[in-house]
Amino acid sequence: MSRTRVAIINVTGYIGIDLARILLRHPEVDLVCVTGRSAAGKRLSEVFPHMEGSGLTIRAEFDVPADVVFSAMPHKASAEACMPLVAQGLKVIDVSADFRLKSRQEYESWYDVQHPCPELLDVAVYGLPEVHREGIRAATLVANPGCYPTGAILALAPALAGGLVEGDIIVDSKSGVSGAGRSLTLTTHFAECNESVAAYAVGGHRHLPEIRQECKRLSDRVTELLFLPHLIPMTRGILSSCYAKASEQWLSTAGDPNQSLMEHYREFYRSSPFVKVVAAPPATKHVWGSNFCHVYPTYDKRTGRLLLISAIDNLVKGGAGQAVQNMNLMLGFDESCGLNSLPVYP
Amino acid sequence: MSRTRVAIINVTGYIGIDLARILLRHPEVDLVCVTGRSAAGKRLSEVFPHMEGSGLTIRAEFDVPADVVFSAMPHKASAEACMPLVAQGLKVIDVSADFRLKSRQEYESWYDVQHPCPELLDVAVYGLPEVHREGIRAATLVANPGCYPTGAILALAPALAGGLVEGDIIVDSKSGVSGAGRSLTLTTHFAECNESVAAYAVGGHRHLPEIRQECKRLSDRVTELLFLPHLIPMTRGILSSCYAKASEQWLSTAGDPNQSLMEHYREFYRSSPFVKVVAAPPATKHVWGSNFCHVYPTYDKRTGRLLLISAIDNLVKGGAGQAVQNMNLMLGFDESCGLNSLPVYP
Amino acid sequence: MSRTRVAIINVTGYIGIDLARILLRHPEVDLVCVTGRSAAGKRLSEVFPHMEGSGLTIRAEFDVPADVVFSAMPHKASAEACMPLVAQGLKVIDVSADFRLKSRQEYESWYDVQHPCPELLDVAVYGLPEVHREGIRAATLVANPGCYPTGAILALAPALAGGLVEGDIIVDSKSGVSGAGRSLTLTTHFAECNESVAAYAVGGHRHLPEIRQECKRLSDRVTELLFLPHLIPMTRGILSSCYAKASEQWLSTAGDPNQSLMEHYREFYRSSPFVKVVAAPPATKHVWGSNFCHVYPTYDKRTGRLLLISAIDNLVKGGAGQAVQNMNLMLGFDESCGLNSLPVYP
Amino acid sequence: MSRTRVAIINVTGYIGIDLARILLRHPEVDLVCVTGRSAAGKRLSEVFPHMEGSGLTIRAEFDVPADVVFSAMPHKASAEACMPLVAQGLKVIDVSADFRLKSRQEYESWYDVQHPCPELLDVAVYGLPEVHREGIRAATLVANPGCYPTGAILALAPALAGGLVEGDIIVDSKSGVSGAGRSLTLTTHFAECNESVAAYAVGGHRHLPEIRQECKRLSDRVTELLFLPHLIPMTRGILSSCYAKASEQWLSTAGDPNQSLMEHYREFYRSSPFVKVVAAPPATKHVWGSNFCHVYPTYDKRTGRLLLISAIDNLVKGGAGQAVQNMNLMLGFDESCGLNSLPVYP
């Protein structure tokens, strides 16, 4: 039987190149094509010296037969690139934001563009395996989640799905700088962001509607959701501290809330190989370079809030790794195939 | 007229040595004594090479005549050291936690020791000049605030004092590693905390009762306060993101909430030289090495919450600088005397 | 056929735990035992949360049947631990310094201890595969090189072996902080070493005799070798900038020195899967988390010196990865088995 | 008597804005004008929030009466800007490279432009006060040294001037990223340079001829000079490790070389308030944010080389601070006026 051929459209961003890193070592697929207009014609290792020896050359266009395509184009351009591929029957995993929001209106309002193919919004499956595993298995088009939503939803999902929380939720996230991408900005200039921390997108970050959409799908008791991202001086990682009111109903039946909470979380993620429910507050270093997510749930008896904290590598579980996890599900491979590298510590 | 003589008890921690840095350049005082038991007899510059040329030698005990004493001892030991000095009529500024909490019970429960001199709790003034300026001017004993409380209260005070908020408050703070002190721990070992972020003291940090005490003094509408600190990979700085419910009363009269909020904050801090109400989310780098605090207030119309964000240098406004600011007030100097260095950027 | 069983003595340091990370994913071996006295009895993941799910428990002693043992004990204790294992006929890879120096006298003078088993110094093979590959294949006891020597020798070896250089050599190395180990020191306290760089061991670093020994084995034209290490604020990586006088003989025959140099280096490392001779100055980030070494040789016509620069990950090629590479050679596996993860960038 | 009025042409780079930080607190001068074409018309604090409260507005052109002008323009443009100011008799301090090299030919060859006013090359004084103090006092036009030359020459000058060294010199420097300026480049993008170190300008850095010129002026025994700069992941600071052969003559008369060396260095810098000859290897953190330079000289008996190590803050002693020190000398102020802030540690 011939091996699965995969392609990456736009390999030159951080998620694109991390996809290449993972796929080049994936035992079941061959990376046959990587594209990137600005660097077309160059050897991959010329642009990315850590790829020395990969043998790949960056192509201007996706023009090689493949079975699975990852699109890492910017939004709108990505939908335009994916549309014909879906039509051809290829398996497509879009790491842009184009197919994440189910509401065309929300998409167009937050991204300030017209959606090129709104008819695909219902076809696409939101690619968070721990929540939509079965849908992904059957999907042709997967919308790979944003980095912040991955961390936030994995922290919140068990509590939401189990009716443990109600009322408003606050998500305060801290991200490494690679999350801002490879394009040059003053904000990501070393001397500006090193030895500093700041909140940004205070008026509303584009990942807010995505987190809200998935939270609402998991629970109808959530009233409002506030999400505030912060940039901190490290390269990789997102820590999300989520504050959610414990529901009266759950509290009245929980017995020891902390024990009950921990058991509920462990049960929820029992069959998810990449989410570890841990017994102490996680550090992003504990998942560095890996597809793992560490989740720590605790109950704050002083305020009646649940503190739900998650740590991920924003480019792996929050990007390229999760995309490969989705591919594994779509192709019927073992979910963790090619993704079982342990975190690099320290 | 003879110049004011000042002393630092326990100069060998980060706040102690930053006090020395500031006091050695203060135009109105002479630093006549620095103590440190473990390094007694050594030249200050031998232990702290950046002090090359200071001419100071570390003494075992405070045994030189002085007018003002800063105690940077650990808690309990600090109260024991301050007690006789207060009795002698010296002006004392304690940078430990010993005189911050008005309730002996709270102190003893959070710090798990007996208070050596509870009778001084009412004598001491909480040294946050922007809130207790007049009290500090008249004080003999000042309790210099903790670093987190400084950032949190400066972010919240105008909203609390003006009745802008009600209900629960969440304070999510991100601190540089110097806040954890100079004692060696695995948590502050470079390879462990670099390229990582984590929450800590999830069960309750000792600065929580301090923040709560001051918030309750400013407003009786606060129901619950949740405070979660995080360690991030930088040396100096604290960013506090505070989430507080806007009060119905204020909203009904505010007109444009964001404009009204900004004006209220500017008015509140009009006479405070070190607090700048800024028009964009602050970064800790904007106050690095200085006694300034940048505060950014905004109203989130989606959730009805106020987002109140502050940035300080944890060792200056959150420690040594504020202590000198307090000294200036106690001695009738200009509040910003010796403290007007601009932040070092980038 | 039964699989190879491997053990790690003293898993609790940075090289020990990185050995665990690699060996747990090595396709040909089973990690059957990890020891660590201070943490004996604890689950590995309790001490190292990134190992969540490994299933290993730290043992007090090495007391489980194994075929290959890695000793990551401190020097002297390591020799004492290895001695009986070698006697039993196990394959032993010592990552301490105990068997690296051929001269007992040099060892005892630099490490200031008596060597527990000097008779093994001749038995041990210096485990730098790119230089001693055949010896390692046949070895029972391998002395895994120090991190600095790995980088320095890989930069210099082709020039030395080919007679390209003569006279004195200066090696100026810059290391990430993990190289200083997991034991707590003020030097490696985050607030002390972040945002700072300093030289250390100016009077002579213990890796100097090791570099000198291997350089002299490769060429008798080297007169003096000066090695100065620096600590820089990053977690992993060593960059070594080596300055060596081009030999008159080589210059007179080289034609275009830079082209000739590059070809000579490429030829020298043709069969070494982990050393990449690159066409631009390497960055340690290009090898982060991997067993690769990037080497960049160039000729400075102004001064007649060769600039030979190498980049490695100090814990992988400079430690755990190289140890596994040695194991692969000793056991007849493919040299890169279990080591082909690509560098994690950015 | 009216106070001295000073202006900064091009305040928007890192040296320009650090000049503003220092000059705004200088007791003897008034900063009356700051220019910056791209940000003309904006409040200074809008572009640089740490300047909140400065009251300055960025002007398009220098069009306000002033007595002293600092030009922080790029090379060539800077000479063009300085030319008319010198003609008008203003005191001018140029922080660009335009007047540093005495040889027009060298300048034009390294900078690849025609010099706009070569006739001023002899008028300009090289602004390293510790070497050219008297010349600077009398100067109208001062060429403020480059950051690397400042560190390298201060490390080498006493040895060169005293005939302690001969033969070739190697200068290996490690710089923080702010040295690369505020313009956006991939090299200074946080995710690219954090957790990494690399050499650059391997073919020859523009500061090489500058270091060489000053070394040759100090000693005619220097044969060749090799200079290699490295970028390391910190914001501020340069550490220069200089390797120079001890002269036979000095060695034959030195007695204890290390003691003699230390005494010679101390004597050389006896009247220089900003250079501290220290007794242990310096760290850049020891001078962070200050105008101090720490120099550590030692003799390596194994190789007969002197190791001469210096640490500076690249933007202060290596830029803005030194420029103000030059101004102080030109105007007859105390050399350290406005510059005596202690380093910010940690």
Give D29→chain C minimum CA distance, Å: 32
Average pLDDT, chain A: 97
**pLDDT band for position A1 (cuts 50, 70, 90):** low
pLDDT, one tens digit per residue, over A5-62 is 999 999 999 999 999 999 999 999 999 999 999 999 999 999 999 999 999 999 999 9
Question: CB contact, 8 Å: D57 with chain B?
Answer: no
* Region of residue B117 (left: phi > 0; alpha: psi -120 to 50; beta: else): beta
Q: Hey, is the C-beta of B182 within 8 angstroms of any chain C C-beta? A: yes
List the chains bordering chain B where 3 or more Cβ pairs fall under 8 Å: A, C, D
What tens digit of pLDDT does each residue of B265-313 get? 999 999 999 999 999 999 999 999 999 999 999 999 999 999 999 999 9
pLDDT at D1 over 70: no
pLDDT digits (tens, 9 = 90+) for C115-127: 999 999 999 999 9
CB within 8 Å: A198 and B283: yes
Look at residue A117 in the predicted model and tell me its pLDDT.
98
Residue of C nearest to D299 (CA): C203
Contacts of D307 in chain C (CB under 8 A): 199, 202, 226, 228
pLDDT given for residue D2 in this prediction: 77
Mutate to test the interface with A, among D14, D48, D189 (most CBs of A within 10 A): D189
Side by side, the strands of the sheet bearing C305-312 are C198-199, C222-231, C165-175, C238-246, C305-312, C293-300, C275-277
Q: What is the pLDDT of residue B66?
A: 97
Residue numbers in A near B230 (CB within 8 A): 174, 239, 241
Q: Whole-angstrom Cα distance, residue C142 to residue B211?
A: 58
With CB atoms and an 8 Å threshold, state whether B191 touches C186.
no
List pLDDT tens digits, range C179-205. Answer: 999 999 999 999 999 999 999 999 999
Tokens 């740590």, residue?
A311
Output the pTM of the full model: 0.98
Closest-CA residue of C relative to A26 is C341
CA–CA gap between residue B326 and residue C25 (Å, rounded): 58
Question: Distance (Å, rounded) from C-alpha C251 to C-alpha C258?
Answer: 10
SS (HEC) of B117-158: CHHHCCCCEECCHHHHHHHHHCCCEEECCCHHHHHHHHHHHH
Q: Does A228 touch chain B (CB under 8 A)?
A: yes
- The set of residues, in sequence order, having a beta carbon less than 8 Å from that of B175 and lying 6+ positions away, is B147, B148, B229, B230, B231, B232, B237, B238, B314
Q: Are strands A238-246 and A305-312 parallel, antiparallel or unpaired?
A: antiparallel
Report chain B residues whose CB lies below 8 A from the CB of D282: 49
Whether residue A230 lies within 8 A of chain B, CB to CB, comes out as yes
Tell me which chains share at least 3 CB pairs under 8 Å with chain A: B, C, D
Task: Tell whether A52 is within 8 A of chain C (Cβ).
Answer: yes
Exposed/middle/buried for residue C36 (C-beta within 10 Å: 0-12, 13-18, 19+) = buried
Predicted pLDDT of residue A258: 97
For A249-300, what is each residue's pLDDT tens digit?
999 999 999 999 999 999 999 999 999 999 999 999 999 999 999 999 999 9
Predicted complex: ipTM over 0.85: yes
Nearest to D199 by CA among C173, C199, C181: C173
The answer to whether C136 and C291 have CB atoms below 8 angstroms apart is no
What is the pLDDT at residue A169?
98
Q: Band of the pLDDT at D176, cuts 50, 70, 90?
A: very high
Amino acid identity at B320: A
pLDDT tens for B134-156 read 999 999 999 999 999 999 999 99
| B78 in C contact zone (CB under 8 Å) | no
Chain C residues 242-281 with CB within 8 Å of chain D: 243, 281
pLDDT of residue C71: 98
Answer whether D49 touches A (CB < 8 Å): no
- Are C194 and B190 a contacting pair at CB < 8 A? yes
- What is the location of CATH 3.40.50.720 in chain C? 4-145+319-331
- Range(s) within chain A of domains with CATH label 3.30.360.10: 148-312
Catalytic residue among A147, A193, A242, A293: A147
At B205-217, the pLDDT tens digits run 999 999 999 999 9
Residue C269 has pLDDT above 90, yes or no: yes
Can you name the residues that pair with C119 across neighbouring β-strands?
none
Using CA atoms, how far apart are residues C70 and A106, in angstroms rounded to an integer? 57
Distance from CA of B289 to the nearest CA of D (A): 7
Q: What is the DSSP string of D87-128?
A: HTT-EEEE-SSTTT-S-HHHHHHHH-S--S-GGGTTT-EE--
Contact partners for chain C, using 3 or more CB pairs closer than 8 A, are A, B, D
Q: Do D202 and C298 make contact, defined as CB atoms within 8 angstroms?
A: yes
- Determine contact: A225 vs chain B, CB below 8 A: yes
From the CA of C238, how many Å to the nearest CA of chain B? 14
Q: Exposed e or buried b for every residue in B5-17, given b needs 16+ CB within 10 A?
A: bbbbbbbbbbbbb
* Percent of chain A clearing pLDDT 90 (strictly above): 99
Cβ–Cβ below 8 Å for D190 and A194: yes
pLDDT of amino acid A2: 77
Q: Under an 8 A CB cutoff, do D345 and B50 touch?
A: yes
Q: Which of C175, C190, C238, C284 to mutate to test the interface with B (most CBs of B within 10 A)?
A: C190
Q: Confirm or reject contact between D282 and chain B (CB < 8 A).
A: yes
pLDDT at B2 over 80: no
Cβ distance A7 to A24 under 8 Å? no
Diameter over CA atoms, chain C: 64
Contacts with A324 (C-beta within 8 Å, 6 or more apart), sequence order: A19, A22, A23, A26, A291, A338, A339
Residue D195 to residue A233, Cβ atoms within 8 A: no
**Smallest Cα distance from D183 to chain A, Å:** 8
| 3-state per-residue secondary structure call for chain C | CCCEEEEEECCCCHHHHHHHHHHCCCCCEEEEEEECHHHCCCEHHHHCHHHCCCCCEEECCCCCCCCEEEECCCCCHHHHHHHHHHHCCCEEEECCCCCCCCCHHHHHHHHCCCCCCHHHCCCCEECCHHHHHHHHHCCCEEECCCHHHHHHHHHHHHHHHCCCEEEEEEEEEEECHHHHCCCCCHHHEHHHHCCCCEECCCCCCCHHHHHHHHHHHHCCCEEEEEEEEEECCCCCCEEEEEEEEECHHHHHHCCCHHHHHHHHHHHHCCCCCCEEECCCCCEHHHHCCCCCEEEEEEEECCCCEEEEEEEECCCCCCCHHHHHHHHHHHHCCCCCCCCCCCCCCC
C-alpha torsion angle, residues D53, D59, D63, D64 (rounded to 10): 0
Q: Give the alpha-carbon dihedral of A276, A280, A283, A285, to 10 degrees.
A: -60
Query: What are the tens digits of pLDDT across the range D64-75?
Result: 999 999 999 999
Contact of D44 with D36, CB cutoff 8 Å:
no
State yes or no: is A82 an active-site residue: no
Give B340→chain C minimum CA distance, Å. Answer: 24
pLDDT value for C1: 57
Catalytic annotation, residues of C: 147
Q: Which fold has domain A148-312?
A: Dihydrodipicolinate Reductase; domain 2 (3.30.360)
Burial of D183 (0-12, 13-18, 19+ CB in 10 A): exposed
CATH class of A4-145+319-331: alpha beta
